[in-house]
Amino acid sequence: MTGSHRIVSSLVLGVTVLAGAATRSALAQAQAADQELQQAKAAFEEAQTLYTKDQYADAATKFMVAFDKKPFSSFLFNAAVAFEKAKQYQTAIDTFQRYLSVDPQARDALDVKARVDSLKAALAPAPATGKAAPDKAVAPVLPAIETKGLVIIESKPAGANVYLDDTAHGLFATTPWQGSLEPKPVKLIFEAKGFKRETREINPRSDKVLELYISMSEEHFLGWIEVVSNVPGAEVFIDRQEIGALGRTPYTGHLKPGKHTLWVQRAGYETAQKDIEVEPGTATTHTINLEVNGYGTLKAAKSTEGGKLFVDGAQVCTLPCDQQLKPGDHALQVQKEGMENYTGKLTINRADVSTMDLAYSPKPGRAKAWTEAVFSAGFFVGGIVLGVKGNQIKDQINSDVKDPSKLLNSSDNRKSTGKLYYIGADVCFGLGLVTAALATWGFLESGPPSAATFKTMNMAGPAPGKLGFAPMDVPNGAGLAATGRF
């Protein structure tokens, strides 16, 4: 063998040895990581067993062992809960704070901070004695809390979008992800550019570590689209609006090759439509901007059911309904059978959504008024009858006075009888007038007017020159989105 051949052979051998060493090193690291995860799982499950046996101090120690093996924030949370159950309140406070430091975007961060504040307040020295409150005074003032399980999700490729139950709920996380889910069945939906959608149904448990690995298949036949708009969270419809939104902006997903129609809509904005054509194996982004509505919307809550809505004097619908209104002041009236009317005014702006709740006021019953009307009629009829009888007696007496053949004497009581008839008639007419007045009042009487309350929200965002904040989901937690116009 020549010298040059020996040099080349040595180089090849060296490269081969280095490559083999690198491969073995990577494999060893992967095996070590896997071994640490298995050790963390074992410690976690042992801790949960101790926890169920009310051996809280030992459970807390084991949760910390699990965290030392794999620094998952859920292990710290569980350890803090166990320390609190063991009445080691200061250690619980320290561990809760460490949990927030490791996972500042945790979904329960606000609740944990409130709990830490309550624990600190309970342990603070009493003003009168200067002594710390006894341990037994701490637990009763705190809401119930329990440990939680751990879900570890990985995928190939990494960075896949993860949705819970339905893509219309919005993005939940991107892989890899670890955290806690409620102990109930849930469907996970995985999407990644250039790969087929995958779904998995899992049953998280509070006492187990659940590992999930998804290997997604490449998709060369379908096209991949991304739909974005100037209004985050707008609903995205594809081809058929009646089946509901498939997601919210920014939306990503696969589509069959061919022509498709996209609609993007959100309350307070005009619905936007766009026709697209999808090529197999391609990835395209479609920007669809929304414009603010030129009108506001009056939404009627279920409490308004059955009423007739009048706007500016014209009947527009039977409640509940959604009614578009031009910006400005509007006179509203609601009429419902058996109820007092509601009358009021509403000022509406562009993109306003005003929800109306109604408290109907029943009209007073008319039974008493009808009874009084019947009595009034009876009194009037009685008065007329008695008056007629009195007139008959008066006519008889006048006739006898004119007839010389008939002599009147003091024993004739017709005159007193006639007076009684007239008095009775006057009484009946008086009672008739009184009951007629009462009946009229009863028919005209009204109760308190129906009352309405309005909750108005402008769906187009904050006013110019102001900042607005809204909650948003982010991987491994939650956060705030700030929006504004300047």
The CATH number of the domain where 340 resides is what?
2.60.40
**Residue 267 pLDDT:** 83
Q: Which residue has the tokens 């007839």?
A: 403
Same domain, 315 and 381: no
For position 165, which CATH number holds?
2.60.40.1120
Question: Does some domain include residue 256?
Answer: no
Residue type, 369: A
Closest C-alpha to 283, from 208, 367, 209, 227: 227
**Residue 293 pLDDT:** 86
Same domain, 337 and 452: yes
Number of structural domains in the chain: 4
- Tell me how long the chain is: 486
Last residue of a domain, one of 184, 215, 246: 215
Closest C-alpha to 99, from 121, 124, 82: 82
By the 10 Å C-beta count (0-12 exposed, 13-18 middle, 19+ buried), 307 is classed as buried
Question: 75 — phi, psi (to 5°)?
Answer: -65, -40
Which tokens go with 282? 């391609």
Query: Beta-carbon neighbour count of residue 106 at 10 Å?
Result: 20
CB 311 within 8 A of CB 324: no
Same domain, 303 and 346: yes
CB 327 within 8 A of CB 349: yes
Low-confidence stretches of the chain (pLDDT beneath 70): 1-33, 126-141, 365-366, 406-411, 445-446, 461-486
Same domain, 105 and 208: no
Closest C-alpha to 251, from 269, 237, 268, 267: 237
CA gap 235, 262 in Å, rounded: 10
Question: Does some domain include residue 12?
Answer: no
Q: Which domain holds residue 191?
A: 150-215
Same domain, 315 and 385: no
Question: Does some domain include residue 388?
Answer: yes
Question: Does some domain include residue 348?
Answer: yes
Question: Does some domain include residue 469?
Answer: no
Question: Does some domain include residue 56?
Answer: yes
Same domain, 172 and 316: no
Is the pTM here over 0.95, yes or no?
no
CB 275 within 8 A of CB 258: no
Return the C-alpha torsion angle 58, 60, 66, 68, nearest 10. Answer: -110
Which residues, 6 or more positions from 32, have their beta carbon under 8 angstroms from its beta carbon? none
Same domain, 39 and 137: yes
411-456 pLDDT, tens digit each: 677 777 878 888 888 898 889 898 888 878 777 766 788 899 999 9
Last residue of a domain, one of 180, 197, 215: 215
Same domain, 377 and 429: yes
Q: With residue 478 as reference, give the H or E element that holds it.
A: strand 477-484
Question: Does some domain include residue 255?
Answer: no
Question: Does some domain include residue 317?
Answer: yes
